[in-house]
Structure 1
Amino acid sequence: MTYFLTQADTVLSAARGLALANPGLLEVNTSPLYLRARTSSPDRTVALVSGGGSGHEPLHTGLLGPGGLDAVCPGEIFASPHNRQIYEAGAAAAKSNGVLLIIKNYTGDVINFQIAAERLRHDGIPVATVLVDDDLATDKADTATGRRGTAATVVLEKLLGAFADQGAKLEELAALGADIVARSRSLAVAARAQTSPSTAAPAFDLNPGTLEYGVGIHGERGTRTIDHRPVEELVAQMTDDLLQALPAGQEEVLAVVNGLGATTSLELHAIGSILHDQLTARGIQPLAVVPGTFTAALDMAGFSLTLTRMRPEWADLWTAPTDTPLALPARTLAPDTAASVVAEPAAAHVRVSEAPASRGILDRYSAIVSQAHDNLTALDQLVGDGDFGDNLAGGVRRAVERNESGSDGVAALAEAFLNDVGGTSGPLFGLLFQELATVSWSDGRAPDALSVADAAKSALAAIHRVGGAEVGDCTLVDALAPTADALATAARDGADSPFTVAAEAAVEGALSTASLTPRRGRASYVGERAIGVPDPGSLGVALLFTALAGVYEPATATRLPDPERLTSR
């Protein structure tokens, strides 16, 4: 099972957990279930009540408290709350000028909130409603249902909360809510469906290399399936679609980049940067770009974009203080600081030989690393944090970019790995390439094998100085040390194919790490559980010397294992 709680336990436990995490801020009524803010602004005369199916958190409950909502009614997962929850929450939270009910446009929500409104009116409590229908994907003229209510609800609840704290009347709040909704549109995409709590399987299947465009927050499939494209192109398309649907005007927009549950904060912030650039390129200055998970669809891997064309007076409402579990970012983007970029300093110089430049090694290594990338990632996920394949491929890619002018390929590798690649493996490979860069490399003539062996030994000493690794620790040293020895011996003996001999020693050394218990690096954390998995860094060394043999000794290099087979488990 993917989930730790049964579906029947989750909603009530989550409500209680939220109250415990925010002592003094809110209270939980269990029968029927609703949450209510303990305090609010003394100037507030209208209670704001919202809610909907669970699984969208922090939507609704995250905005409960001063500056936000007065009560929230959570339904079961993806199911509307029943009318009694809403009725009793509204009655308990009602203030002197009544209650405003905030409803997302789903049939169950609309019916239950409207029944609750009728019951409140029957009790003499003034009631008004705001219907959120921002989902552009469901904007169809041939249906009476109308657009779904999605992530614009967060913007609406924040702005209405601030306006209510100013003492706004019921009719004023309802009018503002309707205006906000009319000036807001959202659009969502997904790369993977949410996991069903009932079946523990994805709610729908997606073919590899595709995205669902226009998904709903209850896990509904998109309105169409598109090819998985670069995120810049995807955000550009979504931006164009949203802007076309917004009311025309020169006002600034508020942009929300919302995660659907499984999309990382790292990705959401990067998408926010892309969205900002897309808007400014179209002559639109965003009031703010707000990334985060605000309206989830359980654990769906995807994101939505919401654009609200802000009226000038709404900016102060957005930045008004709140005391709610979800602290929405309130900073606005000033035009002169929105995209500050610090110039990159010149990279440190790597000493290279005076021999003719060599590109063949870089090209061959690039091809081999690309071939083995997925396997290296899979191996590193078993014993480390899974980043080795990306780090190695990323460093080689940067070296290729540096080498576009035709300079020495080994020197480009040294500069790329020393200056641009982080983690553990990046700098260590940088030291290896830095020493190898002192050798006379060229594409047409093999370098002196003994010089390469000496450079490898110098690299080995440098790696030991900075990391302490020795043979037997299950690191790249277990491949590099026997390689340097084998190459030196082959050079002194006058072997016909010293680089092939060295590559064979590298392969043997790398594969031998599968029988070792790691004593260095992140693999040491898993200890004996790493036995049976060769060290990815040592395989990176084996691939490097496989590339050298392929460039300078193509006839004998055929006896080396295929890179993809070498790195497969």
Structure 2
Amino acid sequence: MTYFLPETDPVLTAARGLAVTHPEAIAVHDAPLYLTARSPHPGRRVALVSGGGSGHEPLHTGLLGRGGLDAVCPGQVFASPHNRQIYEASLATAKRDGVLLIVKNYTGDVINFQIAVERLRHDGIPVATVLVDDDLATDIADSATGRRGTAATVVVEKLLGAAADRGATLEELAALGSRIVSRSRSLAVAARAQTSPTTGEPAFDLPAGILDYGVGIHGERGIRTMVRPPVGTLVRQMTDELLAALPPGPDEVLALVNGLGATTSLELHSISALLVDALGERGVRTALVVPGTYTSALDMAGFSLTLTRLEEGWTDLWAAPTDTPLSFPKHVIAVDSGAPSPAPVATPPLADDRQGSRAVLDRYALIVTQVRDNLTKLDQLVGDGDFGDNLAGGVRRAGRRADETGVEGTAALADVFLNEVGGTSGPLFGLLFQHLAAVSPADGQPPSLTALADATGAALAAIQRVGGAAPGDCTLVDALAATADTLASPPPEAAEAPFTCAAEAAVRGALATASLRARRGRASYVGDHALGVPDPGALAVALLYTALADVYEPSTATRLPAPGYITAH
């Protein structure tokens, strides 16, 4: 199992944990289970009660307290709360003007909340409901069930919480909630299903490179699968569909970028920037952009976008102060959606018969692209898994740099890797490229054997001075040292094929790292777990000398092993 949950009463235990961390603000009632705010705003005339299945945290418990909800009723994982939970939570918190129940549109939730409404009315307590049904993927004309309730629930609860603190009546809150729902739509995508707490396996299978489009927050499959496009393309498509579904009105929106459980802040903030850009291109102003995990689906890898077309005063409600576990911005930050894009850099025309170091750059880029995933998998076994992307990204940028400036290929590689590629290996490769660039003739001819040997030896010395690694430490130095030794004392066949011999030595040195216990770098932290895994940096050195051989000695380079073969594990 991948979840660290107690075997019995996980939802109750989590509720107790929330109260332990917010002892002044939250109380837990366990028979039946519900949570209440200890210090609701004294100006409230109506209590706000919500809830639903667990597994969507921080919804709804994250909005419990002043500026939010008076009570929350958590069901079991992905299961609606029982009507008794809702009924007793409402009895415990009802104000002089009654209680408003906020309900996500799922059959179990609707039935149990409606039974609670009947019981409260029987007791003479004023009660009304707001039904949240924002999910665009389930907007089906002939459906009797209607749209699902998803992440717009956060917007509804936040705005209604502020209005309730201002003393709004039950009728006013119900009308405002319905208005917010009608002007909100959400859409979600996933690259991996959530893990089932029962089986420990993904709830459904998605092949690599495929997205489920229109998923639900309980792991419901999307309306279709699609080949994964670039994230900017995906965001623009979702934006167009959401805007088309919103009612007409002022072109100003609140944009909620919601993670579904396993989506990082890095991703969500990137998506936020892309969303603001897409809205600006369509003439829509983003008054508020709110990235974060607010309505999760356990550990689903995906995100949802919610757009709410704002009315006058709603940004003030959003900015109203809260005292809840989930924090919200205290001030509205107006985002400029219309910032001009930087002017494109003029690109000189490219020759069709590239030679010399530019041809080496192109060949290396092709090889690295082909084996990027292999390098990533190897790095995940011995490090942090970023090497393949860092290497491929740097090589791509070097290609663009060469196009834009006209510099030679290895010089562009040196510039990018020394100045822009982070991590441990990026600048070290920059030193290697710098020395190779210094011996690359400007006329597109290959460097001489002596020049190649000198450059490789100098690069090795520089990398060892900076990084401190020695042969045998299981780093890129092992491949580079083997190459330098072969070039310094070349075998007879090197006279005719120096680049191929250098590449063969680099491959041997790289593959030999699989038998070494790492003594440098992140691989040294995992001890014997790295045994049997060749060092990704050493393999990248071997791939570089393979590219040199492919360009300058195509007839003899055919005896080199395929890049996919040497990087396979």
**Do these two structures clear the TM 0.5 threshold for a shared fold by scoring above it?**
yes
| 1:9 CA displacement | 2.8
Partner Cα distance (2:62, 2:522) in 1: 37
Of 25-34 and 448-457, deviating more is 448-457
- Counterpart code for 2:365: S
Q: What's 2:94 paired with?
A: 94
TM-score by length of 1: 0.94
Partner Cα distance (1:299, 1:482) in 2: 45
Q: What's 1:374 paired with?
A: 373
- Counterpart code for 1:374: D
Q: What's 1:517 paired with?
A: 517
Of 34-43 and 211-220, deviating more is 211-220
- Counterpart code for 2:556: T
Are residues 2 and 414 of structure 1, via their aligned partners in 2, closer, same or farther at CA, if it must alter by over 3 Å? Answer: same
Are residues 34 and 105 of structure 1, via their aligned partners in 2, closer, same or farther at CA, if it must alter by over 3 Å? Answer: same
- 1:183-262 → structure 2 map (5 Å cutoff): 183-262=183-262
Q: What's 1:548 paired with?
A: 548
Paired residues of 2:356 and 2:446 also in contact (CA < 8 A): no
Paired residues of 1:358 and 1:443 also in contact (CA < 8 A): no
Paired residues of 1:97 and 1:169 also in contact (CA < 8 A): yes
Of 532-541 and 365-374, deviating more is 365-374
Are residues 7 and 249 of structure 1, via their aligned partners in 2, closer, same or farther at CA, if it must alter by over 3 Å? Answer: farther
- 1:57-72 → structure 2 map (5 Å cutoff): 57-72=57-72
Q: What's 1:76 paired with?
A: 76
Paired residues of 2:356 and 2:444 also in contact (CA < 8 A): no
Q: Does 1:385 align with 2:384?
A: yes
| 1:359 CA displacement | 1.5
Q: What's 1:347 paired with?
A: none
- 1:312-327 → structure 2 map (5 Å cutoff): 312-327=312-327
TM-score by length of 2: 0.94
Partner Cα distance (2:370, 2:210) in 1: 23
Partner Cα distance (1:201, 1:478) in 2: 40
Q: What's 2:2 paired with?
A: 2
Of 109-118 and 158-167, deviating more is 109-118
Cα RMSD over matched residues? 2.2
Q: Deviations over 1:143-181 (max 9, x none)?
A: 221111111100000000001111111111111111111
- Counterpart code for 2:226: I
Paired residues of 2:281 and 2:338 also in contact (CA < 8 A): no
Give 3-state SS (helix, strand or coil) of 2:357's partner. coil
Are residues 227 and 531 of structure 1, via their aligned partners in 2, closer, same or farther at CA, if it must alter by over 3 Å? Answer: closer
Give 3-state SS (helix, strand or coil) of 1:390's partner. helix
Q: What's 1:287 paired with?
A: 287
Q: Deviations over 1:353-400 (max 9, x none)?
A: xxx963221122112212222211111111000111111111111111
Partner Cα distance (1:339, 1:198) in 2: 49
| 1:528 CA displacement | 2.3
Give 3-state SS (helix, strand or coil) of 2:555's partner. helix
Paired residues of 1:262 and 1:301 also in contact (CA < 8 A): yes
- 1:70-469 → structure 2 map (5 Å cutoff): 70-335=70-335, 358-404=357-403, 406-441=406-441, 445-469=445-469
Of 9-18 and 322-331, deviating more is 322-331
Q: Deviations over 1:416-449 (max 9, x none)?
A: 1112211111110001101111103367532111
Are residues 92 and 496 of structure 1, via their aligned partners in 2, closer, same or farther at CA, if it must alter by over 3 Å? Answer: same
| 1:340 CA displacement | 9.5
Q: What's 1:558 paired with?
A: 558
Paired residues of 1:417 and 1:429 also in contact (CA < 8 A): yes
Of 89-98 and 443-452, deviating more is 443-452
Give 3-state SS (helix, strand or coil) of 1:84's partner. helix
Of 555-564 and 83-92, deviating more is 555-564
Paired residues of 2:189 and 2:215 also in contact (CA < 8 A): yes
Of 369-378 and 40-49, deviating more is 369-378
- Counterpart code for 1:458: A
| 1:252 CA displacement | 1.4
Paired residues of 2:279 and 2:337 also in contact (CA < 8 A): no
Are residues 313 and 266 of structure 1, via their aligned partners in 2, closer, same or farther at CA, if it must alter by over 3 Å? Answer: same
Q: In percent, how many aligned pairs have the same letter?
A: 71
- 1:490-529 → structure 2 map (5 Å cutoff): 490=490, 495-529=495-529
Partner Cα distance (2:543, 2:331) in 1: 49
- Counterpart code for 1:530: A
Q: Does 1:485 align with 2:485?
A: yes
Partner Cα distance (1:102, 1:228) in 2: 35
Of 357-366 and 77-86, deviating more is 357-366
Partner Cα distance (2:530, 2:343) in 1: 42
| 1:321 CA displacement | 0.8
Partner Cα distance (1:560, 1:377) in 2: 22
Partner Cα distance (2:232, 2:493) in 1: 56
Partner Cα distance (1:443, 1:524) in 2: 43
Paired residues of 1:106 and 1:148 also in contact (CA < 8 A): yes
Partner Cα distance (2:336, 2:527) in 1: 51
- Counterpart code for 2:300: M
Paired residues of 1:359 and 1:443 also in contact (CA < 8 A): no
Q: What's 1:349 paired with?
A: none
| 1:131 CA displacement | 0.8
Give structure 1 stretches of 5+ with no counterpart.
Answer: 345-355
Q: Deviations over 1:113-162 (max 9, x none)?
A: 11111212222221111111111111122122111111110000000000
| 1:272 CA displacement | 0.8
Paired residues of 2:421 and 2:427 also in contact (CA < 8 A): yes
Paired residues of 1:449 and 1:488 also in contact (CA < 8 A): no
Are residues 208 and 385 of structure 1, via their aligned partners in 2, closer, same or farther at CA, if it must alter by over 3 Å? Answer: closer
Paired residues of 1:7 and 1:77 also in contact (CA < 8 A): no
Partner Cα distance (2:208, 2:469) in 1: 40
| 1:94 CA displacement | 1.1
- Counterpart code for 1:506: A
Q: What's 1:348 paired with?
A: none
Give 3-state SS (helix, strand or coil) of 1:526's partner. helix
| 1:491 CA displacement | 8.9
Q: Deviations over 1:510-536 (max 9, x none)?
A: 122112111111111112221211111
Are residues 61 and 283 of structure 1, via their aligned partners in 2, closer, same or farther at CA, if it must alter by over 3 Å? Answer: same
Partner Cα distance (1:227, 1:476) in 2: 36
Paired residues of 2:57 and 2:296 also in contact (CA < 8 A): yes
Partner Cα distance (1:156, 1:444) in 2: 65
Give structure 2 stretches of 5+ with no counterpart.
Answer: 345-354
Q: Deviations over 1:474-504 (max 9, x none)?
A: 1111111221121122299972222222222
- Counterpart code for 2:216: G
| 1:87 CA displacement | 0.6
- Counterpart code for 2:109: D
| 1:337 CA displacement | 8.8
Partner Cα distance (1:494, 1:302) in 2: 53
| 1:233 CA displacement | 1.8
Are residues 27 and 37 of structure 1, via their aligned partners in 2, closer, same or farther at CA, if it must alter by over 3 Å? Answer: same
| 1:555 CA displacement | 2.4
Partner Cα distance (2:341, 2:463) in 1: 34
Of 107-116 and 156-165, deviating more is 107-116
Are residues 523 and 340 of structure 1, via their aligned partners in 2, closer, same or farther at CA, if it must alter by over 3 Å? Answer: farther
> How many aligned residue pairs are there?
559
| 1:5 CA displacement | 2.4
- Once superposed, which parts of structure 1, at least 4 consecutive aligned residues long, lie more than 4 Å away? 335-344, 491-494
- Counterpart code for 1:226: M
